[in-house]
Chain A
Amino acid sequence: KNEVEQSPQNLTAQEGEFITINCSYSVGISALHWLQQHPGGGIVSLFMLSSGKKKHGRLIATINIQEKHSSLHITASHPRDSAVYICASHTGNQFYFGTGTSLTVIP
């Protein structure tokens, strides 16, 4: 089983702040996913990466395979970014999820 740990568990930020959420995993993986779960419960995929860095709008995801670590960055945070962010590792056909980081961005 791949242990996936996220930090912090909860995060409160002022609008405009730069935010970093960290994810570490215990064994080698095929890819690392970042997901966003809205307050209403719906889950959407933000990134899937197996090396390097990906950027989409104000969101940036990085991964260091050697250190088994990934980060999700949000630049110029906004109240609409308030959600739970979940990282998940996948190896073969198995997925293992972190418990999520609950982000609240205050105007």
Chain B
Amino acid sequence: NAGVTQTPKFQVLKTGQSMTLQCAQDMNHEYMSWYRQDPGMGLRLIHYSVGAGITDQGEVPNGYNVSRSTTEDFPLRLLSAAPSQTSVYFCASSYSGKTGLSYEQYFGPGTRLTVT
């Protein structure tokens, strides 16, 4: 199993450009999520999905869109990049279990994004 994969590893954008960060998992996990990690602030949840066709907002959703058309893929879209979106982005996935989210999360390797 490849686990959770993310592309690209690094990206530089100009303010106002759009792009999609890709995330895929091959473990048949129901739950997938996107986080951003900023110095001194810890990881923060952007969006999450509990299954194909279902997405919801996390703590910091503004400026980001997601969709979940398949169990495997959960792309994160930046519609109009801003310098405040400079960060390291992590995708993660997990089984949900019958009683809710009750399993460990598997993280992708991260994408380092710089917006100038």
Which residues of chain A from 1 to 43 have a CB within 8 Å of any chain B CB? 1, 4, 30-31, 33, 35, 41-43
A94, CB-defined interface residue at 8 Å: yes
What's the A-B contact tally at a CB cutoff of 8 Å? Answer: 60
A99 interface hit (Cβ, 8 Å):
yes
Q: What are the residues of chain A within 8 A of B105 when measuring CB–CB?
A: 33, 45
Task: Mark contacts of B92-116 with chain A using CB atoms, 8 A cut-off: 1 yes-contact digit, 0 otherwise.
Answer: 1000000011111111011000000
Binding site secondary structure of chain B: strand
Interface size class of A (residues with CB under 8 A): 20 to 34
- Known contacts A41-B110, A94-B58, A96-B59: does B42 contact A86 (CB below 8 Å)? yes
Q: Which residues of A contact B (CB under 8 A)?
A: 1, 4, 30-31, 33, 35, 41-45, 48, 86, 88, 90, 92-100
